């Protein structure tokens, strides 16, 4: 069975991170809750960085396999399946 794509997880982590920042910026959290939110934010940030590094590594590997391939600018509405 094929592995599920990681991007929804990345998007969820980014949304959660944004929510944590908003809660912390509101000033309504206790010190204990703020520390917990900060810890969660650090964990999510690391997860996001790791996911992005893995994606970058995959792109590099693919480009190395196809040395004549050149990066193309992304255009909204382009479908990857149309290749």
Q: Phi, psi at residue 25, to the nearest 5°?
A: -70, -25
Q: Is 77 part of a structural domain of the chain?
A: no
Identify the domain containing residue 37 by its residue range.
8-68
pLDDT of 42-80, one tens digit each?
999 999 999 999 999 998 888 887 667 677 787 776 555
pLDDT tens digits for 25-36? 999 999 999 999
- Whether residue 17 is contained in a domain is answered as yes
The DSSP letter of residue 71 is -
Residue 24 within any structural domain of the chain: yes
Dihedral (Cα; 48, 49, 51, 52), 10-degree rounding: 120
Assess if residue 26 is contained within a domain. Answer: yes
| Enclosing H/E stretch for 32 | helix 31-65
Cβ within 8 Å of residue 82, ≥6 positions away: none
In a domain, 79, yes or no: no
Neighbours of 69 (CB within 10 A): 10
Show Cβ contacts of residue 67 under 8 Å, excluding neighbours closer than 6 positions. Answer: none
CATH number of domain containing 37: 1.10.287.1040
| Total count of domains within the chain | 1
């Amino acid at each position: 069975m094929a592995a599920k794509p990681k991007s929804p997880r990345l998007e969820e982590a980014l949304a959660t991170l944004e929510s944590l920042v908003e809660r912390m910026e509101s000033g309504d959290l206790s010190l204990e809750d703020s520390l917990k939110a900060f810890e969660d934010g650090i964990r999510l940030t690391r997860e996001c960085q790791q996911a992005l590094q893995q994606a970058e590594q995959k792109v590099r590997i693919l480009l190395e396999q196809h040395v004549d391939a050149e990066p193309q600018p992304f255009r909204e509405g382009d479908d990857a399946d149309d290749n």
